[in-house]
Structure 1
Amino acid sequence: MDIGQRVSSTRKRRGLTQRELADASGVSVSLIRKIEQGERDSVRLETLRKLAVGLRVRTSILQGERHDAEWADAQTEDLWGPVRRALAAATASGPSDEPVSVDGVRGAIDEIRPMLGTHRYQTIAQRLPGIMRDADALDGEDGRNVRVRLLGMVGFLLTQNRQFDIAEQTLSAAIDQATDVYDAAGAANTLTWAMLRQGRIAEAEKFAVDWADRIEPRFSRATTKELALWGRLWLYAANASVRDNVESRADDALALARAAAHRIGREVLSDNHSVRAFGPISVAHNTAETYAITGRPDKTLAIAEATPAPTLQPTGAGRLRHRLDVASAHAQLGQYAASVSVLSELQTTAPEWLAQQRYARDILGEIVKDRRSLTTDMRELADAIRLEY
């Protein structure tokens, strides 16, 4: 069945009319009618979740094999073209004339890693192919470990920039080549996130839980790294579960992540492939996102107000994503000026990051639909985040 057939069949089995489903889900009758009649080429995951709530089923039941990914635009594809070619060993520059060492490649990776936290994608995309070429020339176990770290970092960046197919191949290679289970788990964390960004929620939850089970720590002996990787996997599992309309499992996953964060007691970087943080603030942000997804924006804003700003990676993707949840909460409450203010703040702080966020386009798109006219700031923001409608 396609999505429309699944919605129609489930609605009839529940004994609901289209009007009754609209009342129960908050989705308009006209949109339900279009979905059931196959007039929509795609249906947003957020819409499917609302329908799943009204029909009392998992979102993935309605979704089937049709996912909800926004792939990179042409501008982004062009930027990362040299990196994709380097991954395919198709760089035209040939071998380096200078000797290559493990320490040298590690140093080059360490130089660009802070740029991940400030989202300097233009600079990173220019530097990566040369580093990748040098890493391929390394021998021995140390060279292999450096390549695994670099593959994980490249996979993180490609996921951030919506190059999902090549990102998945890159992260799978990092997992396969890792000699340390925790290095593999770092790449698995990113791969889970890549699945979530594509709307592959059931697959993402299972993958996260399987890996969490694989590396489950003994709390009395666990290192910070072990707890952070494990806790981060449970945050992704919670995110997938709530989107799949299984809030009880999301609550359980959040409780496990919260326990790991409490044991650590502070924000830390979860792996050496990325700049992902994990700790009490990350868990609070994820909880706030859960409330934004489930239509409880007041709780999202309450958490945002009560949670201190992170000092570790203050412009990292997790912190910025939380600010998008705040913008969404304001928009849900009809506080459009406050929502646009947050989006403008993000545009100033991390313009390259914001341009890759479909979430930002969704928030501003809803505001545009509800307004008779736009301010100059709104129009400029729409251009900056590449809102096409």
Structure 2
Amino acid sequence: MKTFQGLFVLMTLYVISSTTFAQNSTNEPKKEVQTSKKWYDKISLRGYAQVRYNRLLETNEKLKCEQCDRSWGENGGFFIRRGRLIFSGDISDKLYIYIQPDFASNVSNSFQHSFQLRDAYFDLALDSKKEYRLRIGQSKVPYGFENMQSSQNRLSLDRADPTNSPVSNERDLGVFFYWAKAEIRKRFAYLVSSGLKGSGDYGVFAFGLYNGQNANKAEQNNQPHIVSRITYPFKLKSGQIIETSLQAYTGKFVIEKNAKNTTTNTSYIDRRVAASLIVYPQPLGIQAEYNIGEGPEFNPTTMATEVKKLNGGYAQIMYRQKVGENHITPFVKYQYYNGGKKHEIDARRYIVKDLEIGAEWQLKDYFELTAIYTISDRIFEDAALPDNEQKGNLLRLQAQFNF
């Protein structure tokens, strides 16, 4: 029996080796098995986090900025300003998705580091080159350069009040049409990937409809806002890139008001127009924007919210210098704003005069440290505090981690 088993094993090995030899000796090339990727294999994951401390050399703990950073002033301390994860990818030849939750949203002074949806949109290409696109979902409203610029790329720690107050958190739910030639779309991408602090690709021409009450808030008046923007990044023979933009929006906004506010109205005209000029830091750069319009603003004299004119803008000078494998970018920024902030209680009245002197140190691509000395003079008044002007200085620090 053992002899028979041994012969059976030897015969089996012979058959296997003969079959393998015959397959390898054929002149036909091997055929590779083609496997198509599943949709979830096409999704990339990245993110960043920002940790801040704002109270060094502070001269007035009553000086605050609800819109930009709620850890300013009294009871402020170490603060996770942003904690973002970004899921994105081309699901098919004509469908791109982008979903960005934030794990560090500050929804009130009592609750910090709450989960909140920032972006959830779908880009549907209307042609093979993806020059014509429809963006559907919650995304940034195409108004202003700094609003479009990611906080991951921006030099100053917060967006300027005058151009950020039109769209708090920069986002809303709607449908937007974008157009740009393929060549210019590549230029938009280069301005971000090269470290030149680009705003991203929001088309040369944009037009859209959106709710108008800002991100993560329900529509209140059944009247969508309308927005349009045109921008172009000119490339000079020297290689210098200069971008200019014009943008405008119109709609009606429903405010929240204090019981002491004597107005009986809650829906107000909300419209603005703005111009932008960006000279990218190669190595010296300039960034400036200005907008005018009208909208709701609290009047401390009548103790009521009224439709009033508004205006304001900012200017920033920066110099990007490579030091070894790293980059250091010192900058100076000044902003002025005179108007209401519709998304705050009573459409709080503001007069803002801020000067920032700072520098960003970028260690390769995974860590950034920013220090800014802020000199601020702010009037912010509502029905609960109708006479309020605060002046002060503070040193602000931020550590940013990119992954």
TM-score, with normalisation over the residues of structure 1?
A: 0.26
Higher helix share: 1
Q: Which has the higher strand share?
A: 2
Using structure 2 for the length normalisation, give the TM-score.
0.25
